[in-house]
Every structure is written in structure tokens, then in C-alpha cells.
Structure 1
Amino acid sequence: MRLQAALAVGSDPAPGLVDALVERCGVEPDFFVRDMLTWALTRLPPEATLPRLRQELRSGSPGARGQALHTLSKIGDGSAWPWITRELLRDADDEVARTAWRAAVVLVPQDGRSGLADELLSQLGRGEREVRLSLSRALIDLGDAAVPALERAAAGPDRAVSAHAHATELLRRNPAAGFDAAVEEARRLAALGAERAAALARADTGTGGAAESAGC
């Protein structure tokens, strides 16, 4: 019944129902109903929906924030880009953060893509597989603008961040390989790098010891 109701509202859109639709989006437990509610909101004039969705981004409910972000990404109005704040991109709730990353990539203007890549860089290494995959996809969707940020992260000292950056770059170059394969390859490369660094350190120590024995 709720699905049919959302379908009916979207089929005959009425701006006066914006508040009811947005409020229901924030508490609706069924994915398909939420998706239909979002569709109904996209059928309404942006001047009616955008201000209400902006309010919802400040909600104390993670579900409400996440669904508002999702709806903004579906509407695709670039005027909402400034509302995708650092706080939302770093939201403590993984699902909200993932949705914010997707929405940001959709809404960011061309001249803001490098800055967004730098901000997303701060989230590398976060969470479990699905969270990391979402971040990798967001960075890949930014195209060439993300490459310098990924290169810096891959060369950094944090092994989790470096591995995630390597995996993202590998996936960007070869999407058919899959995320899990890219992660394994990134770990292999990191292990080889660590072994090489250790071998060089041992060689330097050995040289130093020989020099000391020779009285140098």
C-alpha cells in the first residue's frame, strides 16, 4: 500500500506534498518504498524540493540525512553542491558517508573535482570492504582529477591508506579486474616494497659495519 501510494503521488505530482514525502523518506524501512518516494520527489519542481532536502541534511537521523543525499543525487541539480559539506563526507555513519560520496561526485562542478578528490583522500582506509569499494568508485568516477591525490596517498606512510590508494588506482586502470583482485595486488605490491626496504636496510647496516671494522 505504501509503494502504491508513493507511485500515485509521483504520477500526479503536487508540490504541497513535499514535506510529507521527505518526512516519510527519513523513516521508511522498506528500500523499494524509499526509492519510490525519491522518484516522486524528483517529479516535483526543484524549487519546492531542494530547500526541504537541505533542511533534512541537518537531521539528527542518519536515515534522514542519507535519503536526502540520495534524493539530491537523483535530482542532480548542481546548485546543491555547496550543501555537501565536509561533515557529511566524513559522517560517522558509514551509510551516510557512502551516500555523500556518491552525491558529491554527481553534483561537484568541474573546477571542484580536484578539491573533492583531496577531501575524499582523508577517508581512504576507512571501514570494511563495501565502504572502501564505495570510496574507490567515487574516486574513480572523478576521473583524472583524482590521480594526483591517489599517487600522494599511495606513497604515504600509512599502510592501510596506501594499500587502498593502490587498489583504487589498479581498479581505475583495469575495471574488469574487480575490487578484491585489486586489493590483493595492492597488498602484494606493498609486501614487496616492504621486503625491498628491509633488504636495503640490511645492506646499509652491513656496509656500515664493514666500514667500522676497517676503521673508517
Structure 2
Amino acid sequence: MLIGDVARRSGVSTRMLRHYDALGLVRPTGRTVGGYREYSAEDVRRIFHVESLRSLGLSLKQIGRVLEDPAFTPSTLVGDLIRRTEERLARERELLERLRAIDASAPTDWQAVLRIVELMRGLDSSSASHRQRAVLTPPEDVPVPAELLAGAVLTESDPHVAGALRWALARAGGDGVTTLRAGLRSQNVDIRRRAVLAIAQMPEAPGAAAVLTDALGDPDPVVRRHAALALGRQGVAAAVPTLVGMVVEGVNDVEAAEVLGTLSVDPGCTDRVTTALVDELDAPTVDAATRIRLAQALVEVAGAAAQDALRRLAHDDDATVALVASALVGVLRERSLEERTGEQS
């Protein structure tokens, strides 16, 4: 079979076939009387082998080694190809994210593009102070894409820079929640924690409440607590069990008690909050320190049932619990007196 026929049947150009011949990769086994290359069926099969290996990303030199050395094992070479391909894909994904961020800023000219690129370079700096400065002094007259800030939030480990990024993201608008939602699905718990902290600072953003509600089921307690505090401040009753758990465990219990008090102002949530706290008080294993924390939470809660539970604690068998509860009952009396005085005036 002559070179032109091989080219038509294999899809490999005659120029490439000559290149293969020059490299000794696929040499035709025969020549015509006129000196033209003549390929056998075995030569054609070798051409297809070469093309198959090229499709995997092997260089022509590597392909020659594979075909000439039957003892050559593919595992090392394939493993190297996998690693290099993963690195290339990571670079391309990073490039794609950068391009999308630039596109989201709706640049009107190339100067605007360059200013966004400058911001990206600042966020990629190895210096935390440079990254923070990039966040707090963004390019003038160029809207900072929320997606860019959200992506930076998920990877930022410095607490000061992370705080600046969350602050900027909360004010940027846009659809940063989408990127943060993806972060909450990460296997890396640190990324999930960064994501929930950022969403907690933008609870009114579209979709934020739904994402935070899903986060209440996260396996990490820190993620659950941040989500519960943010949802509770928004009046979402689904946060009550986690908030009560924080009081029982003594983790951010003062903050959790304040949020429970805010939730209890809603008549539709009062009984749920009170019942959850009282149920914990009645648990057979509850210790004195936990009863004190529950008492401190009950004083924040609206409604007569919470007050009755607090008065019951004033007669607790533990003297310290009874003393604290009695003092809190006194706080309730003073509060009630002030309210009546205010109404009369």
C-alpha cells in the first residue's frame, strides 16, 4: 500500500508518515520499483498503535520506547501521564475561574481587565499583609466579582485576611453563595468552616438560608454551630436543637442563649424553645454546671413557661444552682417592674 493510500485510510497525513519514517518509528517494509514507500498490513497496524498512544499524551520518543521494548511496563509511564494531566487540568480550571471572574466584572475596556488581574495577583500573594491590602483597597471604578472573593475565602487560612474577605464579600453582592455552597460540600472540614462563616455574614443573600439550613446536618459541630447562630438570628426555628445543644455543651453558650431569646419572641417559636430547654433540665444525667447554663438561657426566653422553669430551679438540690436561679428570678422581677413602670409613664 502506497503512502497516499495509507494516509487516506488511517487519517494520518503523508507529512506525518514521512516524519514517522525519519524517526524510525514506522518504517515501510518495502519500496516499489520506482522507489516509493510501500506499507504492509503490519506497518499499518503499527501506525494505528502509534496514533492510539499519541491520544494518551505520550511523546513520539516515549512511543518508540514502548513499541521497541516488549518488557517495558506501562504503570510508571501511565502514572506520570496521569499526574501531568491532573496538573494541566488544575491550571486550566484556575484559568477558567480567572476568566469567569473577569467576565463577571463586566469590564468596559482593557484597563478594567488589567485592574482585576492586579487584584487577582494580590490575592495570590504569599504575604498575608499583601492579600489583606488587596482586599481592602480594590481597584477603583471596577466592581469586584463576588465569585472571586468567595473562591479566595475558601482557601484563605490567615484569620485577618479571611475576615477582610468575608467583609468584602458581604458587600459585593453577586452570586458568591454558589461558590460557597460548593465549599460546604468539600471533604476538607477547614473549607466547610470557611464557607459557613462567610455565608453567615450574608444571610439575606439569595439561597443563603437554604444553604445554612443544609449545614445544620454537617458532620462537623463547628459548621453546625455557625449555621445555627446565623439562622437563629434570622428567626429560623430549625436552629433551635443545635442552639440548645450549644448551651448544654457550654460552647458559645452565652451567644446561643441570646439567639434563643430572640427566637422565643416569636409566639410560634416560644413553646419550641422553652420545651427544648426544659427537656434538657429533666434529663437524668444533667449536671449542676449544665443546669446553671440552662438557667441562664431560660432568663433570656420569653413566656411564662420559661419563668416557671427558672423558679423551679431556684429550689434545686444543688445550692449553687439554686443561688444562681434565685438571682435570675430577681432579674426577671426587676425586668417586669421596669416594663410596668414604662407602660404607666
TM-score range (shorter-chain normalised) is 0.5 to 0.7
- 8 Å CA contact 1:155, 1:162 repeated in 2: no
Give the alignment partner of residue 248 of structure 2, picking from 125, 134, 141. 125
**Structure 1: distance between partners of 2:133 and 2:317:** 52
Unaligned runs of 5+ in 1: 174-185, 195-216
**Paired amino acid for 1:67:** R
Give runs of aligned pairs for residues 33-44 of structure 1, distance below 5 A. 33-44=161-172
Residues 63 and 96, structure 1, Cα contact 8 Å, conserved in 2: no
The secondary structure found in structure 2 opposite 1:75 is coil
Deviation sequence 1:98-146 (CA, Å, 0-9, x none): 31222222344xxx42x432454355523xx444334333323323332
Determine if the alignment matches structure 1 residue 30 to structure 2 residue 153: no
Partner of 1:155: 282
1:189 pairs with 2:189: no
Asked if residue 57 in structure 1 is aligned to residue 184 in structure 2, the reply is yes
Give the Å deviation of 1:41.
1.2
Q: CA RMSD in A?
A: 3.5
Q: Which moved more, 1:91-100 or 1:52-61?
A: 91-100
Q: Please show how residues 136-151 of structure 1 align to structure 2 within 5 Å.
A: 136-144=257-265, 145=269, 146-151=273-278
In the TM superposition, residue 193 of structure 1 has moved relative to its aligned partner by 11
1:95 shift after superposition: 3.3
**Counterpart-to-counterpart distance in 2, 1:51 and 1:124:** 32
Offset of 1:6 from its aligned partner? 0.9
Q: What TM-score comes out, normalization by structure 2 length?
A: 0.42
Do residues 9 (structure 1) and 138 (structure 2) align? yes
Structure 1 residue runs of 4+, over 6 Å off?
none
Q: CA deviation at 1:29?
A: 2.6
TM superposition shift of 1:74? 1.9
Change (3 A) 1:93 1:133: farther
Q: How many residues align?
A: 172
- Which residue does the alignment assign to 1:68? 195
Residue 35 of structure 1, CA deviation:
1.3
**Partner of residue 167, structure 1:** 296
Instruction: Give, as a single letter, the amino acid of the residue that structure 2 aligns with 1:167.
Output: Q
For 2:90, the equivalent position in structure 1 comes to none
Name the CA shift for 1:83/1:70 in 2 (closer, same or farther; >3 Å).
Answer: same
CA-CA distance at 1:10 after TM superposition: 8.3
Distance 1:70 1:107, change over 3 A: farther
Distance in 1 separating the partners of 2:225 and 2:275: 22
Which residue is equivalent to 1:21? Answer: 149
User: Is 2:246 aligned against 1:116?
Assistant: no
Query: TM-score, normalised to structure 1's length?
Result: 0.62
- For the 8 Å contact 1:9–1:40, the answer to whether it is kept is no
Does the aligned pair in 2 maintain the 1:25–1:34 contact within 8 Å? yes
Q: Percent identity?
A: 21
- Between the aligned partners of 1:10 and 1:92, the Cα distance in structure 2 is 39
Larger radius of gyration: 2
Q: 1:177 maps to what in 2?
A: none
Deviation at 1:159, TM superposition (A): 0.4
Q: What amino acid sits opposite 1:32 in the alignment?
A: H
Output the CA distance in 2 between the equivalents of 1:52 and 1:6.
18
Residue 4 of structure 1: CA displacement?
Answer: 0.7
Q: For residues 294 and 234 of structure 2, what CA distance do their matches in structure 1 show?
A: 23
